[in-house]
């Protein structure tokens, strides 16, 4: 089947406010989980995402430092967004994915009225995005859970968060009606099992039933997503609400049947449970079996389950960075890193400097797998790989490795569309301008087409420099993918 690539394809770039904006307490905003995350190097090795506890939160609240808490300063996008968007628009982006901050809009999370200064910032940000002909795609919650809601409610483990989130969404969807048509409810909702504080504000304080708390909090998010999807369509029938997972594509390590069984289990409980729940199929049988085995009892109601069935997402969003392997017996397998989750190494694949294995074929496999299961539009909301770039004395940055990575993955995506017949509506490459890494809070791990002269400790001119890959992506978009 050879289909032409869709002419209206949404080529773009994606950022997260909590990794770019800085201005962590400006204009009324209150503290969020990412601003508790310290940057740390031990023996020149970056320490992975630290464990967030009520103690580390209390320590961070007492410490105004913005050097060792890099997400408090980001790349100062809160003040540089006009210049940065002008540079990004120079590539001819059709779509720009960004995120709202709950702690800006409702600093206490549950106060009666929203913070008008926050809405004024987003008014101008969204108007600026649109002024360059870019479609804004806005993530409502992107790893920046408000500390206030952690302390007062225990995050999403409290059912009252459903109403608070619905109120937050109603303010945004009514304010930006007609300006924002693409929404994502929760960034990488399946990260919640790995990073409960970051995504749901559910902090492990040694509770015996912590896993059950995470699944209960997730269930509240599924209910909230269904309600907000229904509300979005009522506010503006043009709204398209996407769900999103970080796709942990996994292969059986060998053709041993036990390895295939393990890969099936991992795919279901790391990926499909979340997407099934957000696409009209709550509590699928395989999840109920898992809960029975683990003694997990969720507080649900038939009315809520019916709301979930009746309000599936309009499109399936995914981030794709790397793939992994599963095996019945993993005792002999070598571990490597992957997006937040550690992964077992695939001997057939190279990796970047952080151990994230590079697998463009896996993207084509994943797109087919998802289209086959959900039979609705897919949107690649993040794809890229971190690299160590060098700013040359003449202000250039030569990054052929970035072009190689993106070219291979875009080729795979285009084959899924034109040869396999998968319906993909957009591709927003992750991090089109260098920002703070989510998992390690470092700057050294760069993604951008635009280099930001700032090191891990915030030192540098903060000037922006165009990398070679910027011109490649510009020409790719101008040719709608022909100039790969
Ligand atoms: C995803 C997040 C993004 C981004 C990406 C890259 O999990 O949605 O916010 O950070 O990971 O990961 P990192 O920044 O850790 O390299």
Query: pLDDT tens for residues 421-438?
Result: 999 999 999 999 999 999
Measured from the Cβ of residue 177, the count of other Cβ atoms closer than 10 Å reads: 14
Query: Both tokens of residue 47?
Result: 């320490």
In DSSP terms, 19 is beta-bridged to none
Ligand 1 centroid to Cα of residue 243, in Å, is 17
- DSSP structure class, residue 171: H
For residue 323, which phi and psi values (nearest 5 degrees)? Answer: -120, 175
- Residue 4: strand, helix, or coil: coil
Query: Both tokens of residue 144?
Result: 């920046």
At residue 44, the pLDDT reads: 57
**Could you confirm whether 188 is annotated as catalytic?**
yes
Residue in 143, 101, 150 with CA at minimum distance from that of residue 122: 101
- The span from the CA of 245 to the CA of 19, in Å, is 19
Residue nearest to atom 6 of ligand 1 (CA): 438
pLDDT exceeds 90 at position 471: yes
- The span from the CA of 239 to the CA of 136, in Å, is 12
Mean pLDDT of the chain: 95
Task: Please identify which of the residues 21, 304, 382, 442 carries the catalytic annotation.
Answer: 382
Q: Is the pTM of this model over 0.85?
A: yes
- The span from the CA of 390 to the CA of 409, in Å, is 23
Sign of CA dihedral 336, 338, 343, 348: negative
Residue nearest to atom 2 of ligand 1 (CA): 438
Cα angle 113, 114, 115 (rounded to 5 degrees) comes to 125
At residue 135, the pLDDT reads: 98
Residue nearest to atom 7 of ligand 1 (CA): 339
**Could you confirm whether 135 is annotated as catalytic?**
no
First to last CA, the chain: 21
Place of tokens 């109403």: 163
Sign of CA dihedral 210, 216, 217, 219: positive
- 240 membership: H or E segment, kind and range: strand 240-246
Check if 438 has its Cβ closer than 6 Å to any atom of ligand 1: yes
pLDDT in tens, 149-182: 999 999 999 999 999 999 999 999 999 999 999 9
pLDDT exceeds 90 at position 373: yes
Residue in 88, 90, 103, 113 with CA at minimum distance from that of residue 149: 103
């Amino acid at each position: 089947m050879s289909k032409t690539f869709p002419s209206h394809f949404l080529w773009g770039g994606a950022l997260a406010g909590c990794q770019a904006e800085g201005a962590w307490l400006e204009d009324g905003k209150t503290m969020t989980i990412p601003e508790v995350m310290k940057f740390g190097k031990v023996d020149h090795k970056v320490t992975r995402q630290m464990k967030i506890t009520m103690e580390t939160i209390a320590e961070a609240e007492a410490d105004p430092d913005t050097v060792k808490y890099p997400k408090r300063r980001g790349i100062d996008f809160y003040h540089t967004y006009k210049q940065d968007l002008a540079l990004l628009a120079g590539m001819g982006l059709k779509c720009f994915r960004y995120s709202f901050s709950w702690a800006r809009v409702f600093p206490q999370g549950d106060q009666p009225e929203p913070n008008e200064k926050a809405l004024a910032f987003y008014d101008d940000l969204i108007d600026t995005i649109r002024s360059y002909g870019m479609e804004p795609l806005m993530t409502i919650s992107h790893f920046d859970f408000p500390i206030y809601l952690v302390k007062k409610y225990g995050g999403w483990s409290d059912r009252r968060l459903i109403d608070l989130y619905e109120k937050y969404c109603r303010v945004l969807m009514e304010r930006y009606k007609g300006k924002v048509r693409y929404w994502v409810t929760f960034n990488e909702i399946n990260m919640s099992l790995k990073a409960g504080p970051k995504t749901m504000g559910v902090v492990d304080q040694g509770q015996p039933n912590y896993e059950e708390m995470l699944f209960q909090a997730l269930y509240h998010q599924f209910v909230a997503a269904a309600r907000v999807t229904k509300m979005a369509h009522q506010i503006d029938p043009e709204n398209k609400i996407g769900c999103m997972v970080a796709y942990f594509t996994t292969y059986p390590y060998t053709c041993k049947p036990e390895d295939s069984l393990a890969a099936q289990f991992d795919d279901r409980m790391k990926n499909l449970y979340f997407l099934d729940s957000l696409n009209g199929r709550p509590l699928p049988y395989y999840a109920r079996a898992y809960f029975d085995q683990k003694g997990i009892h969720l507080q649900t109601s038939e009315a809520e389950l019916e709301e979930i069935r009746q309000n599936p997402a309009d499109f399936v969003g995914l981030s794709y960075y790397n793939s992994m392997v599963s095996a019945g017996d993993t005792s002999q397998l070598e571990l490597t890193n992957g997006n937040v989750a550690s992964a077992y190494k695939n001997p057939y694949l190279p990796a970047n400097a952080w151990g994230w294995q590079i697998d463009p074929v896996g993207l084509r496999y994943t797109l087919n797998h998802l289209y086959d299961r959900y039979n609705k539009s897919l949107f690649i909301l993040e794809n890229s790989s971190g690299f160590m770039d060098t700013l040359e004395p003449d202000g250039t940055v030569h990054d052929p490795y970035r072009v190689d990575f993106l070219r291979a993955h875009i080729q795979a995506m285009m084959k899924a569309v034109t040869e396999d017949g998968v319906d993909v509506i957009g591709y927003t490459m992750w991090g089109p301008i260098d920002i703070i890494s989510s998992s390690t809070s470092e700057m050294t791990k760069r993604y951008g087409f635009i280099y930001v002269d700032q090191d891990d400790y915030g030192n540098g001119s903060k000037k922006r420099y165009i990398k070679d890959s910027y011109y490649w992506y510009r020409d790719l978009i101008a040719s709608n993918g022909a100039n790969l």
